[in-house]
Amino acid sequence: MENIEQLIQQAADKDYAAANTTFVDIMNQKLHDTLEQEKIKVSGEIYNGLEPEEDEQLELDLDDAEESEEDEATDETESEEDEVDVEDEPDTDESDEDPEES
């Protein structure tokens, strides 16, 4: 908790270099603690025969995301169809021919 108070004070003092260092230290400590907890859990499962706990995972509602992606793809296709490249169309106008050739 002391590190968090120190980080806040450093940010308030606009000492961003020191605040960055303190922030990195806080995040490294949190990462270390989390990894240590995971090691304990896995070793308990392996050596003590404990049942693995199912981690609670959030499910994403992909139906809305798929619909919005389809809408975006449809919009892009429609905008591409609206743009017509005149140079790629064949020249059907015969008025460009030299009148002497006729």
Q: What gap in Å lies between CA 23 and CA 44, rounded to an integer?
A: 32
For residue 1, give its domain range: 1-51
83 falls within a domain: no
67 falls within a domain: no
Q: What gap in Å lies between CA 84 and CA 77, rounded to an integer?
A: 13
pTM: predicted TM-score of the whole model, two decimal places: 0.48
> 5-57, pLDDT tens digit by residue?
999 999 999 999 999 999 999 999 999 999 999 999 999 888 888 787 776 77
CA-closest candidate to residue 20, choices 3, 34, 1, 35: 3
> 71-82, pLDDT tens digit by residue?
666 666 555 555
Helix (H, G, I), strand (E, B) or coil at 18: helix
28 falls within a domain: yes
91 falls within a domain: no
